[in-house]
Amino acid sequence: MKDGLIEKIKSRGYWRVNFQPITAAVRLDSMQKSKEIVEKNAVNLRGWDFPHIPSRDDETTGSSTSGNYYEGWTDWSNYKEFWQMYKSGQFLSYLALREDWFEESLTASSWAERIKPMTSLSILNSVIYEITEVFEFLSRLTSSGLYEEGVLVNMSLHNIENRELWIEDQTRISFSYPRKTKAKELVFNKEYSKEDVINDSKKLANSMILEIFDAFGWNPSSEQVSADQEKILSRN
């Protein structure tokens, strides 16, 4: 991994995503299998995949193997992230909030003046779409046989104190007053069965999304969030 990338990600807002099998066993017998299962099941619904699969090795992106995991990383534009897939079936990812890095963006630099680092949380890209993609990826991994006995999902959102929710879609009505949180981080630990993940990944994501928004004092309906989820899942 690129030197200093973890520290860079943790210096501002970020998601930590971790999947752990309920039972201990070696599920992937080689680094090649660890690589292939991520590449096969990665989710690409909005022009950027999760997890992002590096297509080259240079100063902005790359991949490598370690003793018991395969990893990929990116430090390009306002995309800062890395992931590791362990032979045990554990998956770990850190994703920087993209709105915190607009000054480095190659496509959204016009937002840099308006959206300052550590001030905002995008309701669509960083919450609804991100969480929906994470659970869709989990569902695909589970369907591939990785979590037959169930999975423990740990997701946490960090460095969010005093942020306010940001509606980046300018066609939508703005909030009548700022929706902020005093929480420094939000942590979610849930254990799911194979059947839960495969059959209800959208519903599981919906529940977590609503908990995030509740921490900011906003309570949209489950149906409202579901409509946005369906847009991303149908690639619209």
Each residue's pLDDT tens digit, 49-66: 999 999 999 999 999 998
Q: Is residue 9 part of a domain?
A: no
Which two tokens mark 140? 């695909």
As a whole number of angstroms, the distance between CA 57 and CA 141 comes to 25
SS3 category, 172: coil
In-domain check, residue 226: yes
- Residue 14 placed within a domain: no
* Rg of the chain (C-alpha set): 17
Read off the pLDDT of residues 193-229 as tens digits, 9 standing for 90 and up.
999 999 999 999 999 999 999 999 999 999 999 999 9
Residue 114 within a domain: yes
Residue 25 has pLDDT above 80, yes or no: no
Q: Are β-strands 69-76 and 79-86 bridged in parallel, bridged antiparallel, or unpaired? A: antiparallel
Please tell me the distance from the alpha carbon of residue 190 to that of residue 176, in angstroms, as a whole number. 33
Residue 163 lies in a domain: yes
- Please give the model's pTM, rounded to 2 decimal places: 0.96
Counting residues of the chain whose pLDDT is more than 70, the rounded percentage is: 99
Rounded CA-CA distance 161/108 in Å is 24
Secondary structure tally for the chain: helices H, strands E: 5, 9
Could you count the other beta carbons within 10 Å of the beta carbon of residue 184? 11
- Could you tell me the CA-to-CA distances from 87 to 25, 39, 54, 84, 230 in Å, in that order? 9, 15, 20, 10, 33
Higher pLDDT, 86 or 67: 86
Residue 69 inside a domain? The answer is yes
Distance CA 84, CA 18 (A): 10
* 167 three-state secondary structure: coil
Domain hosting 122: range is 19-233
**Residue 41 belongs to some domain of the structure:** yes
Whether 4 is in a domain gets the answer no
Q: Are strands 120-122 and 164-166 parallel, antiparallel or unpaired?
A: parallel
Please report which confidence band the pLDDT of residue 184 belongs to, taking 50, 70 and 90 as the band edges: very high
- Local confidence band at 26 (pLDDT 50, 70, 90 cut-offs): low
**Domain count along the chain:** 1
